[in-house]
């Protein structure tokens, strides 16, 4: 049986960052294995590929090879088409995630991580203080063993479900939202802007049009599983695309799940099993964004594992596991818990209220639009309050 110190399951942003952080810190002293069931750079990567440039560059150098483009505007559009926007130069990066995965995979190889793709994790079993990981490679099953395993397999984290000793761990499978997008040509798009669409057509989510590095756009929508019930999301997407762009040409359509509960009060790690990224529910519940969250979470996990391995006492190891959760909560988790609560109220904003609010905002000078929308993005719980204030104010004015 092969033995490692750490086995990381899943080479998306969370798994790659965990592996890279561990490999860099351990400098050859640990045997680290990174597994993915597919080639992580195989297209299409199911993602709209947007990250905030500030947060991303605080985690990794921004290599031009994986940048599609930068955008500076975030525009919000109401059901009747009123648009207000906020501007900060180069605020967002549209990644080429396939190239990004390849880039980070190569960095992992450089720091001594054993990386294997087309290697699917089929089962996990705890035995003699270690984890036995059953891996399928090319139809043959192997068992590989390690005291530490990282579940970075994305939303739902199936490989760690139903394991009795992990009862109570974060599962990343609650309040899942569905998101679907097309890469399409013939859809007009401001190359400098991320464009978001709100209103009942997108139920408790939103629609988007994002630029890419070519003539195409990434156009999509996301909504909760509940709101999407009985609907064909694909049909909704096609309606969204062709309503205003009858000659659009679709290159590809792709969809996936996003955990939107905004962090529970549940541990991320138990008995040497650590979770990272979507598998730990580390996603911004307002935007459904999880790339930088996965990188950040992977970094925390990777930084703490050597300490866990250095301890022998079960209680001391439990403290390290708790520290991972605390570090996430202090940096993002509490903010996302609060955001998730305000999302519930935000979902009650009506089409009329969106129209009045964004109409009002679009009449303000650009600096004021930016100032209001920046306040809302740093304190998302103010969205419903501000929308209703302006809505009620405008109705009263009309009445007078
Ligand atoms: C349509 C859509 C659009 C999105 N747009 C954005 C966006 O614009 N910006 C943003 O920040 N976030 C976006 N997200 C969310 C973002 O994609 C995720 O939050 C992010 O990918 C999470 O990274 P991760 O590493 O945790 O999981 P993933 O990226 O899902 O990676 C998990 C990896 O594990 C592998 N794997 C799974 N099971 C196994 C197994 N059994 N054995 C081995 N390997 C396995 C998978 O092949 C995969 O490579 C979007 C999501 C969707 C669905």
Query: pLDDT (tens digit, 9 = 90+) per residue, 141-162?
Result: 999 999 999 999 998 878 888 8
Contact residues for 286 (Cβ-Cβ < 8 A; gap 6+)? 339, 342, 343, 346, 380
Query: pLDDT (tens digit, 9 = 90+) per residue, 73-89?
Result: 999 999 999 999 999 99
The owner of tokens 């000659």 is: 247
pLDDT at 116 over 90: yes
pLDDT at 399 over 60: no
Ligand 1: centre distance to CA 110 (Å): 23
pLDDT at 260 over 80: no
What's the pLDDT score for residue 398?
67
Ligand 1: centre distance to CA 42 (Å): 13
pLDDT interval class at 283 (50, 70, 90): very high
Ligand 1: centre distance to CA 43 (Å): 13
Query: pLDDT (tens digit, 9 = 90+) per residue, 314-346?
Result: 999 999 999 999 999 999 999 999 998 888 889
Pocket test for ligand 1, best of 97, 153, 159, 298 (most atoms within 8 A of CB): 153
Nearest CA to ligand 1 atom 38: 153
Rg (CA), the chain: 22
Contact residues for 151 (Cβ-Cβ < 8 A; gap 6+)? 9, 10, 157, 159, 160, 273, 274, 275, 276, 279
Stretch 296-321: mean pLDDT:
97
Ligand 1: centre distance to CA 291 (Å): 8
Stretch 383-397: mean pLDDT:
90
Could you tell me the residue ranges of all domains in the chain?
Answer: 2-44+98-174+261-345, 176-257, 348-399
CATH code for the domain defined by 176-257:
3.30.9.10
Between 170 and 250, the more confident residue is 250
Kindly list the protein residues whose Cβ atom lies closer than 6 A to any atom of ligand 1: 9-15, 35-38, 40, 46-51, 120-121, 152-154, 159, 179, 181, 220, 255-256, 258, 277-279, 283, 288-291, 294
pLDDT at 203 over 90: no
Q: Decide which of 3.40.50.970, 1.10.10.60, 3.50.50.60, 3.40.50.1860 is the CATH code for 2-44+98-174+261-345.
A: 3.50.50.60
Ligand 1: centre distance to CA 391 (Å): 38
What's the pLDDT score for residue 250?
97
Cα 262–Cα 264–Cα 267 angle in degrees, nearest 5: 130
């Amino acid at each position: 049986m092969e033995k490692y110190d750490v086995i990381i399951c899943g080479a998306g942003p969370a798994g790659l960052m965990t592996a890279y952080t561990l490999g860099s810190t351990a400098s050859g002293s640990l045997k680290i294995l990174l597994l993915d069931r597919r080639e992580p750079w195989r297209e299409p990567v199911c993602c709209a590929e947007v990250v905030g440039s500030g947060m991303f560059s605080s985690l990794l150098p921004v290599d031009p090879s994986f940048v599609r483009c930068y955008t500076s505007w975030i525009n919000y559009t109401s059901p009747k088409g009123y648009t207000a926007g906020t501007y900060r130069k180069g605020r967002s990066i549209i990644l080429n995630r396939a190239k990004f995965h390849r880039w980070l995979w190569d960095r992992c190889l450089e720091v001594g991580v054993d990386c294997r793709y087309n290697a699917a994790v089929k089962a996990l079993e705890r035995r003699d203080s270690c984890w036995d990981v059953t891996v399928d490679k090319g139809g043959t099953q192997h068992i590989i063993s390690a005291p530490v395993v990282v579940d970075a397999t994305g939303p739902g984290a199936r490989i760690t479900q139903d394991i009795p000793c992990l009862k109570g761990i974060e599962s990343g499978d609650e309040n899942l939202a569905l998101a679907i997008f097309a890469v399409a040509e013939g859809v007009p798009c401001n190359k400098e802007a991320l464009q978001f669409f709100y209103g009942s057509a997108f139920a408790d989510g939103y629609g988007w049009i994002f630029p890419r590095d070519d003539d195409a756009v990434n156009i999509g929508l996301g909504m909760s599983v509940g709101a999407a019930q009985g609907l064909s999301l694909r049909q909704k997407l096609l309606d969204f695309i062709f309503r205003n762009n009858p000659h659009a040409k679709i290159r590809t359509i792709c969809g996936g799940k996003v955990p939107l509960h905004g962090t529970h009060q549940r541990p991320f790690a138990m008995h040497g099993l650590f979770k990272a990224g979507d598998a730990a529910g580390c996603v911004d519940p307002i935007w459904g964004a999880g790339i930088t969250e996965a990188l950040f979470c992977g970094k925390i996990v990777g930084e703490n594992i050597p300490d866990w391995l250095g301890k022998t006492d079960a209680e001391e190891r439990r403290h390290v596991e708790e520290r991972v959760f605390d570090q996430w909560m202090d940096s993002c988790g509490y903010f996302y818990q609060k955001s998730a609560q305000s999302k519930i109220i935000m979902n009650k904003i009506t089409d009329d209220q969106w129209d009045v609010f964004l109409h009002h905002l679009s009449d303000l000078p650009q600096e004021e639009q930016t100032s209001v929308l920046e306040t809302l993005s740093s304190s998302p719980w103010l969205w419903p309050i501000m929308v209703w204030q302006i809505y009620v104010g405008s109705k009263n004015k009309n009445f007078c």
